[in-house]
Amino acid sequence: MRVLTLNPGSSSLKSSLVVDGTPVGWAATSLDDAHDAARQALDRWSTVDTVAIRFVHGGSRTGPVRLTPDVVDALEKLSPFAPLHQPQAVRLARQVFRSRPGLPVIASFDTAFHSQLPEEASRYALPREWTTQGRLRRYGFHGLSCRHAARRVTTLLGVEEPRLLCCHLGAGVSVTAIRGDRSIDTSMGFTPLEGPAMATRSGSVDPGLVLHVMRTAPMSVEAMEDVLYHRSGLAGMSGTDGDLRAVLAREAAGDPDAMSAVAVYLHRIRREIGAMMASLDRIDAVVFTGGVTEHQPELIARLSARLGVFGIAVDPARCLGDGDRVISPDGTPVTVFAVATGEDAELARDAEALLSVEHV
């Protein structure tokens, strides 16, 4: 089966052609050019059996669904909970409907992988009346990436039901505790704002600080949303667009804001790794994935240099290698992997599985 996958991330739109489970072509588009991206991808890879789109938020959905205009309308209602991602996915789906009426379009959800989170990890300590309907809870994101990383590590490690941490470092950043193929805790929550600092997102901040700012320098909800999603994180701290290439270049040039931004960024990821360790009964492996892992692997070595307290260590030379690989030194208690982001493969897998059931 030939599957066109469309993955709108917060810093770029990635499209790929996956043929019978193997990615054979790949393209990334800047978000500024994404308005016509689905049609361009369909022009580039014209013979496809289906299109699979990554939606970060699926609400209570626990697996992929075939999209209809009504389902897309329902998914659009989740846009306020993932404003950097969901509107783009909705737009792509509608572009495909327009360009290729009749072509099956499948949605896979980041949130689905975390849909079995234990209550202690999914519930916020808020009044019961707020949480009993089950909507105001921790959903978790980056689920397709985590699922792929867990699949690769399970194969490479050869341990049954491995206990692992998945650190997705891209424009969005998250750390997830996984047992086998199941998420048991994760740093992103009700929205993809929670957790470590990200490219342009703040990560977790004390809600008391937000209350204070709203009280003393009143601003609209939209203005606060803009600060937390677009103008914080590495971008806000360093005065760049948040792309690590720019931040690391300024850091290397001795820019104090960039030096502080990188220090905060690494510290908050280490803290989250420590927090997620507490959800595991043992740890077999740590897997790094996401654009930063693929393109700035030297940062993984810097990050890991201060994880020795958890038995986590990496060999800087192995960090700089290619492909899905072990990057920890031989003989260390926790095996550390770097794995290429596999959201496209997971999207294609879901689409093939769903369509094969429909055709029975």
Ligand X SMILES: Nc1ncnc2c1ncn2[C@@H]1O[C@H](COP(=O)(O)OP(=O)(O)O)[C@@H](O)[C@H]1O
Ligand Y SMILES: CC(=O)OP(=O)(O)O
245 binds, among ligand X, ligand Y, Mg ion, none (CB under 5 to 8 A by kind): ligand X
User: Is residue 65 close enough to count as binding ligand Y by CB under 6 A?
Assistant: no
- Which among 292, 298, 181, 312 has a CA at the least distance from the CA of 242? 292
User: Is residue 10 close enough to count as binding ligand Y by CB under 6 A?
Assistant: yes
Task: Report whether 168 belongs to an annotated binding site.
Answer: yes
Query: How far apart are the C-alpha atoms of 199 and 247, rounded to whole Å?
Result: 10
**Piece in contact with ligand Y (CB under 6 A), picked from 158-166, 169-177, 252-260, 351-359:** 169-177
Interface residues toward ligand X, by CB under 6 A: 9-12, 170-172, 199, 243-245, 290-292, 295-296, 341
Query: 281 catalytic, yes or no?
Result: no
Annotate 124-161 with b (16+ C-beta within 10 A) or e (fewer): eeeeeeebeeeeebbbbbbbbbbbbbbbbbbebbeeee
- Which among 275, 273, 290 has a CA at the least distance from the CA of 142? 290
What does DSSP assign to residue 80? Answer: G
Query: How far apart are the C-alpha atoms of 108 and 110, rounded to whole Å?
Result: 7
User: Is residue 297 close enough to count as binding Mg ion by CB under 5 A?
Assistant: no
The answer to whether 150 touches 165, Cβ cutoff 8 Å, is no
User: Is residue 9 close enough to count as binding Mg ion by CB under 5 A?
Assistant: yes
> Furthest-apart CA pair in the chain: how many Å?
62
Q: How far is the CB of 16 from ligand X (least distance, A)?
A: 13
Q: How far is the CB of 7 from ligand X (least distance, A)?
A: 7
Query: How far apart are the C-alpha atoms of 164 and 335, rounded to whole Å?
Result: 9
Task: Report whether 135 belongs to an annotated binding site.
Answer: no
Q: Which residue is nearest to ligand X (CB)?
A: 291
Phi, psi for residue 236 in degrees, rounded to 5: -65, -40
56 binds, among ligand X, ligand Y, Mg ion, none (CB under 5 to 8 A by kind): ligand Y
From residue 135 to residue 174, the character string flagging contacts with Mg ion as x (rule: CB under 5 A) and all else as - is -----------------------------------x----
Q: Which residue is nearest to ligand Y (CB)?
A: 172
Q: Give me the active site residues, please.
A: 110
Binding-site members for substrate are 54
Which residues of the shown chain bind Mg ion in the complex (CB under 5 A)? 9, 170
